[in-house]
Amino acid sequence: MSLKKTKKRKKASRMHGRGAGTHGWGARKKHKKSGHRGGKGMAGTGKRADQRKTLVLKLYGHGYFGKQGITSKKTQKDKRLRINLKNIELNIESFVKKGIVKKTTKGIEIDLSNYKVLDSSQEYILKNKLIIKAKEASKSAIEKVRKTGGEILLSKKE
Q: Where are the domains of the chain?
A: 34-68, 81-154
Burial status of residue 36 (CB atoms within 10 A of its CB: 0-12, 13-18, 19 or more): exposed
157 or 50, which is more confident: 50
pLDDT given for residue 133 in this prediction? 92
| Residue 76: pLDDT over 80 | no
The mean per-residue pLDDT over the stretch 90-103 comes to 87
pLDDT given for residue 2 in this prediction? 67
Cβ-based neighbour number of residue 15 at 10 Å = 15
22 or 117, which is more confident: 117
Read off the amino acid at residue 146: R
User: CATH fold of 81-154, please?
Assistant: Ribosomal Protein L15; Chain: K; domain 2 (3.100.10)
Helices (H), 48-126: 53-60, 85-90, 92-98
Q: What is the pTM of this model?
A: 0.50
| Residue 143: pLDDT over 80 | yes
Report which secondary-structure segment, H or E, holds 84.
Answer: strand 81-84
| Residue 158: pLDDT over 60 | no
Question: Is the separation of the CB atoms in 116 and 134 below 8 Å?
Answer: yes
